[in-house]
Amino acid sequence: MTKPTRVAILVAALCASTSGQALAQDADTSQAEIEALRAELARLSARIEQLESSVADNATAAQTAQNTASAAQDVAKTAAATAQEATLASASGPQVTLKASPEVKDDRGFTFKPRGRANIDFGYVSAPGSTGADSGFDAEARRIRLGASGKIPGGFGYKIEADFAENQVALTDAIVSYTDGELTLQAGQFNPFWGLEEISSSLHTSFLERSAWTDVLPFERRVGVAAIYKTDEFMIQGGVFSDNSEDLPNDNTSFDSRIVFAPKSGSTQLHFGGSVHYNKLGEGSEVRYRQRPLVHWTDNRFINTDRFSATSELGLGLEAAAIAGPFHVAVEGFRQSVNRPGPLASPSFFGGSIEAGFFLTQGDSRGYKIGEFDRVKPNKPVGEGGTGALQVNLRYDHLDMNSKGIIGGTQDSLQASLIWTFTDYTRILFNYGLLKYDDAAFPTVSGDTSYDVHVFGTRAQVDF
């Protein structure tokens, strides 16, 4: 309210008051009445000033509220723009996650992950000196593998890996796959479906080497095509293969299949399986089955059938396992029959093993995924305030390579191992084996082919 307006209001009020007084009284206005009028005018003036101040304060508050709302709106707009820019940046650029090794993924579904492993072995072999077999300490880089795996939009995937051990480069896996729900189709070089221990990665074995029967027979990666149907408890695998890429071209063709049932009984993981393998050999082919004493670094094969002619091989395998908390047990058996040309008798060889293991550290257990043993993940890994996982294992391993005139020898072994898994991706193994031979390939100076061999081995392992 302006000052002229305020004065006008006061004058009007004074006139109105004076006029009223004139009409109400006939006598002259007294001095007391004039003073009363002045007091009333002062009160009215104070009230007007109060009203003006209130109006001004309300206007300021309204303006402040408006300014605050405007500022909040500006902040919201800026935050939305920032979020949109972050979303666009995320969608337009690759995302990198780290789990032992980096995995790169883009918004279209392409992924790329480098992979690798190193197994460094050393130890001691003790055989009768008069056999002429090498004994003593030795070491080797058992596996030095590098490769990559990933996914391609549309359900496709790939895995490529090569081994650089022994100063050589050898292709291990080269796989292209397509997955639609529970069905996977794959082509390339990979392991046919031999059995539980052979299919399980060498990263997750209980001993330095797999059971003797898996190594003495020609279990190796082969080039082929396969189909795999897999649910949480059931899996069937089948494929057609030629031979390892290093041995191609040749006329060998194999048909391999495996079935697995893996139910749970309470918290116990069970595993039951069987496999069939038929290998048609090319004309004029020969086979040879031979085996080292537990460790790979020695070239001495105390089991050795030498080469003999063959037209085909037929293998039948059975497997079973159970994992209950810190305890596991696994048993497998495999029979290999060999057809020979003409009137030659067809031999049949057998191998089998049983192992049991127990974790000494609380909360640790052997890993499993349908059809194979998986990674051990320590409950309290080293580097996170823990000591890792400590596991002890025992195994009995039997191999009989004598049949129908083929004398390859027999091997019975008792083995023990101690495995210290520091983290998910690092561990060290200590292994001892007592191997008893009959009809061994190396006779003593007196002609004895029945004797014992002692083996001590250690492996340092890391993978990513």
Q: Are 70 and 183 part of one and the same domain?
A: no
Per-residue pLDDT at 19: 40
Asked whether residue 95 is domain-assigned, the answer is no
Asked whether residue 171 is domain-assigned, the answer is no
Per-residue pLDDT at 167: 86
Q: Are 68 and 192 part of one and the same domain?
A: no
Regions of the chain with pLDDT less than 50: 2-29, 88-89
Asked whether residue 131 is domain-assigned, the answer is yes
Per-residue pLDDT at 288: 97
Q: Are 175 and 191 in contact (CB under 8 A)?
A: no
Q: Are 64 and 126 part of one and the same domain?
A: no
Asked whether residue 97 is domain-assigned, the answer is no
Q: Are 161 and 203 in contact (CB under 8 A)?
A: no
d(CA 38, CA 326) in angstroms, rounded, equals 103
Asked whether residue 236 is domain-assigned, the answer is yes
Beta bridge partners of 417: 393, 431
Q: Are 64 and 125 part of one and the same domain?
A: no
Asked whether residue 158 is domain-assigned, the answer is no
Q: What is the CATH number of the domain that holds 336?
A: 2.40.160.10
Backbone φ, ψ for residue 178 (5° rounding)? -135, 130
Q: Are 306 and 206 part of one and the same domain?
A: yes
Asked whether residue 410 is domain-assigned, the answer is yes
Size (the chain), residues = 464
Q: Are 230 and 356 part of one and the same domain?
A: yes
Q: Are 124 and 40 part of one and the same domain?
A: no
Q: Are 442 and 342 part of one and the same domain?
A: yes
- With CA atoms as reference, report the closest residue to 398 among 305, 320, 298, 331: 331
Query: How crowded is residue 383: how many other Cβ atoms within 10 Å of its Cβ?
Result: 9
User: How far from 137 is each of 31, 69, 430, 456, 458, CA to CA, in Å?
Assistant: 133, 81, 15, 9, 11
> Containing domain of residue 49, as a range?
3-89
Per-residue pLDDT at 311: 97
Per-residue pLDDT at 73: 63
Give the count of domains, the chain: 2
Q: Are 196 and 235 part of one and the same domain?
A: yes
Q: Are 75 and 201 part of one and the same domain?
A: no
Q: Are 76 and 133 part of one and the same domain?
A: no
d(CA 237, CA 243) in angstroms, rounded, equals 18
Per-residue pLDDT at 5: 46
Asked whether residue 424 is domain-assigned, the answer is yes
Per-residue pLDDT at 303: 98
Q: Are 72 and 130 part of one and the same domain?
A: no
Of the CA atoms within 13 Å of residue 356, those in its CB half-sphere come to 2
Q: What angle do CA 112, 117, 118 make, to 5 degrees?
A: 155
Provide the token pair at 386: 């823990």
Query: How crowded is residue 202: how many other Cβ atoms within 10 Å of its Cβ?
Result: 17
**pTM to 2 decimal places:** 0.78
